[in-house]
Chain A
């Protein structure tokens, strides 16, 4: 099966410090993958590279059937190509209503002229309602996003990601600050999404990763240390030394 995203031989250094060192990574079109690693392992930098925020010193990043390079594209173009990103802290637009937040994310033309003439239509409203229902925010559509609880904001952001209809989702610590019930719901949601799209989850919490029940990539000092099922990597002596041993 051909891969959706392929990162190969990528190196990035900041002021001489190698944040990413000859990293190679790939993920299929409908796959769930967890990335774990200690602080400073390069997890966030990896996401920055894929989404275009950071340009690597060397290496290639290709995406889609045509294996188009992402390195020349701006953040906005990469997002339009089908890469969605969820940040660690919930970043919803707090001053705007849940409906407005979802409308912003809804897949539609993005150029200023087209947006100027854009007016909401029946199918858009249906889609917004369906998305809100999926994450349990159907009753909160007219509320300002800033009034939502932390967990609800996280879900709103996930709904916004889905509204973009990306082919690859990068999710940074989705369960941070959530209650146990909220975590379970988030797990279900992610597993469900991964049936049709590629999902990369960066997570610290081992329990959460276990519940995701997927392949795990362990990063250390900017490169892949081990890859495989959670049980497989937790038995790996290198992994135990650098990561698990500390916790």
Chain B
């Protein structure tokens, strides 16, 4: 069974080998000092974005639901892990500073110290109720999955039950992420308003460990999460479940008349992908070091869709390629390392012009490679989709094969 599973989905093995080689090469390069710690972090973060793109591909490429709000779940996952990181780290600092004052500190004093340390910046000194679990790593890890999962479940249930589809659903998901961002921007929302959570790169209890090795550990964790998710999603999409969701994408009414509860499937996929995205976020933000409500801006989720579109919808490796290529190029261009181009009358400064380049790339992909970068592999493998220019073939010529139709 396992053997035939790998044989039926050859891209899985190739992907896992490529990922393993990449991880190995990065580890070696970092070990021998060929790669800076910040670049290892960039690569680790890119792997997390690839993981989010995988989830986006499942819900958009396979199930046909264009969600433009999935980065909200990504950021929520980050906030949930960030709360523990910040609390535990501040607790260490507070305990150390109180230890100098002679008398042993009471738990109340420690609690008070943590609250004023974290919330002094927004003018509060009490720990909000939502931080009730922040002292415990297992509870916050549970919330990484539970909170975005629950939000997706409730939002999805309301949206899919009323049979909101297509562009209307996309707008609703945009509204969801925007509303959440605006709420978190408020100081009294309990998550430090627009300051967000910071210092997340300092892992509590690992003071002695250098950022070099912490960044590598996070890189490995991100690679492992990506590999596991790829394996799981390949298994899901290659079976009957994948067949059902692709059928929902192509003709939802017909699937209903076959006896499948279309709403149930959509809700399942929506919640599953929200959880995967949240896990990606929980791995991303400790590497980024800071999270604030701007991460939930609608544009972030639109980028996610653009990565998947450029990489190739409906194939898992396409999403990973798209996310990796675009986000790495983006950090190269916006990092100030790309040389500016003087044109005499003006200078093309890539930090500003990168977006234009991205837009042009998006148009080019749509025009010349509608299946995305991933679709190029089909060409190498010799698969050719018939080019019918959208014209339907009538009943009597009925065939998708161009050659037959011309005869």
Question: Is B396 part of the binding interface, using a Cβ–Cβ cutoff of 8 Å?
Answer: yes
**Cβ-defined contact, A147 with B399, below 8 A:** yes
**Cβ-defined contact, A103 with B240, below 8 A:** yes
Which of the 9-residue segments B25-33, B36-44, B258-266, B356-364 touches chain A?
B258-266
- B349-404 CB contacts (< 8 Å) to partner A: 394-396, 398-401
Question: Is B250 part of the binding interface, using a Cβ–Cβ cutoff of 8 Å?
Answer: yes
The residues of A that contact B262 with a CB separation of less than 8 Å are: 76
Given contacts A104-B258, A116-B241, contact A177 B400 (CB under 8 A): no
Question: Is B345 part of the binding interface, using a Cβ–Cβ cutoff of 8 Å?
Answer: no
**Cβ-defined contact, A144 with B400, below 8 A:** yes
The residues of A that contact B400 with a CB separation of less than 8 Å are: 94, 144, 146-147
**Cβ-defined contact, A150 with B247, below 8 A:** no
Please give the distance in Å from B58's CB to the nearest CB on chain A. Answer: 13
Task: Fill in one digit per residue for A40-60: 1 if any B CB lies within 8 Å of its CB, else 0.
Answer: 000000000001010000000
**Cβ-defined contact, B239 with A93, below 8 A:** no
The residues of A that contact B265 with a CB separation of less than 8 Å are: 112
The residues of A that contact B244 with a CB separation of less than 8 Å are: 104, 115
The residues of B that contact A100 with a CB separation of less than 8 Å are: 243
- B200-247 CB contacts (< 8 Å) to partner A: 236, 239-241, 243-244, 246-247
**Cβ-defined contact, A111 with B264, below 8 A:** yes
User: Which of A53, A76, A95, A147: most chain B CB closer than 10 A?
Assistant: A76
- A174-230 CB contacts (< 8 Å) to partner B: 176-177
Task: Fill in one digit per residue for B243-284: 1 if any A CB lies within 8 Å of its CB, else 0.
Answer: 110110011011111111110110010000000000000000
The residues of B that contact A80 with a CB separation of less than 8 Å are: 259
**Bound Cα distance A93, B242 (Å):** 13
Please give the distance in Å from A102's CB to the nearest CB on chain B. Answer: 11
Task: Fill in one digit per residue for A152-190: 1 if any B CB lies within 8 Å of its CB, else 0.
Answer: 110000001000100000000000110000000000000
Query: Which residue in B259, B261, B398 is a CB contact (below 8 Å) of A149?
Result: B398
**Cβ-defined contact, A76 with B243, below 8 A:** no
Interface contact tally, CB-CB below 8 A: 92
Interface size class of B (residues with CB under 8 A): 20 to 34
The residues of A that contact B257 with a CB separation of less than 8 Å are: 51, 75, 79, 84-85
Query: Which residue in A76, A116, A144 is a CB contact (below 8 Å) of B239?
Result: A116
Residue of A nearest to B247 (CB): A93
**Cβ-defined contact, A76 with B247, below 8 A:** no
Query: Which residue in B236, B250, B259, B394 is a CB contact (below 8 Å) of A93?
Result: B250
The residues of A that contact B264 with a CB separation of less than 8 Å are: 111-112
**Bound Cα distance A94, B395 (Å):** 14
Question: Is A237 part of the binding interface, using a Cβ–Cβ cutoff of 8 Å?
Answer: no
Given contacts A110-B261, A112-B241, contact A150 B398 (CB under 8 A): yes
- A80-139 CB contacts (< 8 Å) to partner B: 80, 84-85, 87, 91, 93-96, 100, 103-105, 110-112, 115-116, 118-120
Task: Write 24 A-B pairs (CB below 8 A) sorted by A numbering.
Answer: A51-B257, A79-B256, A79-B258, A79-B259, A91-B251, A93-B246, A93-B251, A95-B246, A95-B250, A104-B243, A110-B259, A111-B261, A115-B241, A115-B244, A116-B236, A118-B240, A144-B400, A146-B400, A147-B400, A148-B399, A150-B398, A153-B398, A160-B258, A177-B396
Using CB atoms and an 8 Å cutoff, list the residues of chain A in contact with chain B.
51, 53, 74-77, 79-80, 84-85, 87, 91, 93-96, 100, 103-105, 110-112, 115-116, 118-120, 144, 146-153, 160, 164, 176-177
Closest 6 interchain pairs by CB?
A177-B395, A79-B259, A150-B395, A150-B398, A149-B398, A75-B256
